[in-house]
Amino acid sequence: MNVLGASEVLEFAIRIEENGEIFYREVSKKVEQRKVKDLFNFLAEEEVKHRKVFEEMLSQIENYQPPESYPGEYFAYLRAYAEGHIFTKEKKGALMAKKMHTAKEAIDFAMEIELDSILYYLETKNLVPEHQRNTLDKIIEEERQHYLKLQQIKGE
C-alpha cells in the first residue's frame, strides 16, 4: 500500500484527539463535581499533547514506505475501524458532550473512547516507522492511565 494509507491512519488519530479534547472541555463545563471537572480538564490537555505528537509523526511520514507485509486489506481494516470509531467524525466530540446529562454518563462514555483509542493506536503502531513506535507506546500507556483514572473516579 502507498504512503497515503499510513498518512490517513495518522490523520484519523489526530481527529480522535481533537474530538477527545472538545468532548472533555465541553463536559467539564457541565459537571459540578470538582474532581470530575478537574479530571476532564486534565484529559483535554492530554489530548492536545497527543494531537501534537501525531501531527509531528504525520509530518515525517512522507518518506516512509510501510513494509510490503501490510497489504491493502490491512489499510482497509484500519480505515473501517477508524470510521467506526465515533471520534474520527468531524465535530463528534461536541455532539457527544451535548448528549451527556450526568457525570456518570460522561465518565462511562470517556472510558469507552479511551479503550477504542488504545485499540486503534495498537493497530496503528504497525504502520509507523520503527523509530516512532516508542512514541506511540507512550501515548498508548497514557491512554491506559486515562482509563484507570476514569475508572477510579467512577468508583468514588
Domain residue spans of the chain: 3-155
Supply the pLDDT for residue 76.
75
pLDDT greater than 80 at residue 33: yes
Checking if the pLDDT of 67 tops 70, the result is: no
pLDDT at residue 115, as a whole number: 93
Q: Per-residue confidence at 52, pLDDT binned at 50, 70, 90?
A: very high
**CATH code of domain 3-155:** 1.20.1260.10
The contacts of residue 88 (CB under 8 Å, 6+ apart) are: 12, 15, 16, 19, 82
> Each residue of 74-88: pLDDT tens digit?
777 777 777 777 777
Q: What is the mean pLDDT of the chain?
A: 85
**CA 37, chain centre distance (Å):** 20
C-alpha cell at 149: 483514572
The distance from CA 150 to its chain's CA centroid, rounded to whole angstroms, is: 15
